[in-house]
Amino acid sequence: MTLRFNTSSDPRSGGSVEESPLQKYWEVLQRRRVPIIVVAGIVFGLTTFYTMRQKPTFQASGKLLFTGGNYSIDSDRQCDD
């Protein structure tokens, strides 16, 4: 992929061709591809390892609100499924 532009107003004049800043960044990323992938892999791996070693903690709360009816709750009765 090559992004180039002509600095001359007339493309037929043979003006100088410069690289765009995006092309320079792309070339840097291509040259540094392996270190970028290695660092990202290490960070991902260490994060996964740390997360998996954590003791699971679950905390939840909730309320049920029944309206519009005559409901009774029998707390001594157990539900058998």
Residues 6+ apart with CB under 8 A from 9: none
Average pLDDT over residues 37-54: 96
pLDDT at 3 over 70: no
Domain locations along the chain: 19-55
Average pLDDT over residues 11-30: 78
Residues 3, 20 contacting (CB under 8 angstroms): yes
Straight-line distance from the first to the last Cα atom of the chain, in angstroms, rounded to the nearest whole number: 64
Average pLDDT over residues 9-13: 54
Kindly state the tokens that stand for 5: 């532009």
Burial class (CB in 10 A: 0-12, 13-18, 19+), 48: exposed
The helix (H) or strand (E) run that includes residue 47 is helix 33-53
pTM assigned to the model: 0.45
CA pair distance 47, 42, nearest whole angstrom: 8
* pLDDT score at 58: 86
Average pLDDT over residues 45-74: 84
